[in-house]
Structure 1
């Protein structure tokens, strides 16, 4: 790995990017050479003081908007693969399916007779379970793309995009600005009181910010997962949107009592425990990996950095960090999906993340725990890279504008 540059890091960089992760609370070489006998301290980034919460949230929301549109097909593929492993059928109900297969299979005379073993369709009719043919089974990411486009239309790859946008904009709009502020507060405190803990500021700040964002936006995440997991079999029928999906979640719990209705709203936070169990480690791994990588890349650029180099360094660091974090937390993502697509309300409220993981292990073993890891990693790497690079470029541009004024 490239060592720290002898030049000081750019002034526009965020505070955490200026922390030396090679040693506990070491300052940059320029700071150390300026005052070798003084206690270590962090030079504040002028961009942090120039940007308010509104500007941070706006730039983060813009990044989230772009990312949510670009990577939505991978999100659909990941959710479909995980839902299929959980038992969600992607073929018509048995009576309809049996009638369709009976018309195709010349070897079948009565609906309660098995197809011939040589029959390519392999259906079993009557009271016995029908084994769907390969065209109703997803075998991988590309297979999901192909079958969704062929059976449902190209637009279905962007199923749940409205919920994804409704989720991404407030989530990232909360997440990145809060991460910046939490990290700066933690660094200021640890630099003065516990210098050895300063390198862990991104990990703690990322975990706190992600927890706040997850709890706030969990109902929208529930709607998006359900929208992407289920398939509409009736031709010409528009699948339910985000609000209709949420109302469908609430409808079995409605009663005449306002108190009971208030209690029933907690069903909208189904799976929030699994989501936190997934996103908090994801954020901790992501930021503790991303910060040192982008710090070293940006140290090579120094004060001569421009928007393109800022974009490249942050996208590269975000891509690597997001991919690693997504792969490591895939089992928790599988558990989150299974919790949120559970149709039995009583079971959905009683199931814990630990029980869900045990159930997944029992049903599918290690392969079951990493169902959908390909599209998840393929989604998270570019998504984190896009969000972080867009966010930092906007900070860079705003900082330059403040300097010119």
Structure 2
């Protein structure tokens, strides 16, 4: 007897189970991808040292972090001695000279922000997809719509926390000082100021999400068909996640470049009149093209692919594995309850 015959008394995968699966995926992704970006940043910094009070954007595939180069600050972990000849050499020297924990610099703020954002995003996507499949006959465009709505929701909820986190990273603040900062922000600029940077984030993340989920479902079905599998395996989900993440990363990279410019501009130009600088997405794009050509909009393509492709693959394959695990557990519980009812 299956769930349909028992009136869905035991859901195949509940929202809580989806949250647990996505939370596990976010933690595992952060643990596995963060060392790659730490090494990348260390290699970049030794060739192009950041002057005092300058900042750079660090991203491990799940979350962006703004770091500041204040000498003597405990945030200047990348300034420690060491000359690296390549990626493997950097890994070995960091572990030998600074301890293995240095490979996970920046992990705590990632977990604080990425876990709730990922839980909201993946759970909303699955719930919307399930709802639409019961209402719509043509399922081809469901991943696009569900991906857009889920990403909009996640970005909107997390955006104020992102602003506060960025402020906390820029300067050591007590909770009282942070409270005063938020109150001053609200009194001067209103509630809408807490969502500053929302539009550029949406322009990058929403198209990424739409393309990612559509391509993921297409590649997953194609791989299942060509490998004679009725259900996607962990390897199939991993491969589909990596390919779809790579495609979405390439297409949306110009918006990621603009978002990086907006996030770092406030801190890089503290003593400059910001009113003279372009602020809209399109104006910043035109400025980049005029200075660096079209290729300027695709700066950092390889590092982004190195981060995002494995992050997407690990995240979605872990999430799907978690759902499959809970699915089996729910079926066992369902069959056990059904047998008990038959005995009665």
TM-score (norm 1): 0.59
Contact kept, 8 Å, 1:330 with 1:370, in 2: the verdict is yes
Question: Structure 1 pair 74/257, CA: closer, same or farther in 2 (3 Å)?
Answer: closer
Question: Structure 1 pair 262/199, CA: closer, same or farther in 2 (3 Å)?
Answer: same
Q: Cα RMSD between the aligned structures?
A: 4.5
User: Are residues 1:338 and 2:261 paired?
Assistant: yes
For residues 254-269 of structure 1, what are the structure 2 equivalents within 5 Å?
Answer: 254=181, 260=187, 263=190, 266-269=192-195
Alpha-carbon distance between aligned partners in 1 of 2:248 and 2:204, rounded to the nearest angstrom: 10
Deviation at 1:247, TM superposition (A): 8.0
Match of 1:185 among 114, 126, 131: 131
Alpha-carbon distance between aligned partners in 2 of 1:403 and 1:173, rounded to the nearest angstrom: 24
Contact kept, 8 Å, 1:255 with 1:261, in 2: the verdict is no
Deviation at 1:222, TM superposition (A): 5.0
Alpha-carbon distance between aligned partners in 2 of 1:65 and 1:397, rounded to the nearest angstrom: 18
Alpha-carbon distance between aligned partners in 2 of 1:376 and 1:249, rounded to the nearest angstrom: 35
User: Are residues 1:371 and 2:309 paired?
Assistant: no
Alpha-carbon distance between aligned partners in 2 of 1:208 and 1:48, rounded to the nearest angstrom: 27
Corresponding residue of 2:148: 207
Question: Structure 1 pair 292/79, CA: closer, same or farther in 2 (3 Å)?
Answer: same
Q: Give the gaps of 5 or more residues in structure 1.
A: 1-10, 13-45, 95-139, 228-239
C-alpha deviations, 1:265-318, integer Å up to 9, x for none? Answer: 655433221111011111111111110111233344545x6xxx6211111110
Corresponding residue of 1:233: none
Deviation at 1:374, TM superposition (A): 1.2
Alpha-carbon distance between aligned partners in 2 of 1:360 and 1:249, rounded to the nearest angstrom: 36
Match of 2:118 among 163, 168, 172: 172
How many residues are treated as equivalent by the alignment?
292
Question: Structure 1 pair 203/47, CA: closer, same or farther in 2 (3 Å)?
Answer: farther
Contact kept, 8 Å, 1:318 with 1:385, in 2: the verdict is yes
Question: Structure 1 pair 322/205, CA: closer, same or farther in 2 (3 Å)?
Answer: same
Alpha-carbon distance between aligned partners in 2 of 1:402 and 1:93, rounded to the nearest angstrom: 54
Q: Give the gaps of 5 or more residues in structure 2.
A: 55-84, 334-344
For residues 389-404 of structure 1, what are the structure 2 equivalents within 5 Å?
Answer: 389-404=317-332
Alpha-carbon distance between aligned partners in 2 of 1:164 and 1:403, rounded to the nearest angstrom: 35
Contact kept, 8 Å, 1:74 with 1:376, in 2: the verdict is no
Match of 2:247 among 312, 321, 324: 324
Deviation at 1:371, TM superposition (A): 1.8
Q: Which has the larger radius of gyration?
A: 1
TM-score (norm 2): 0.69
C-alpha deviations, 1:36-69, integer Å up to 9, x for none? Answer: xxxxxxxxxx899322211101110110111012
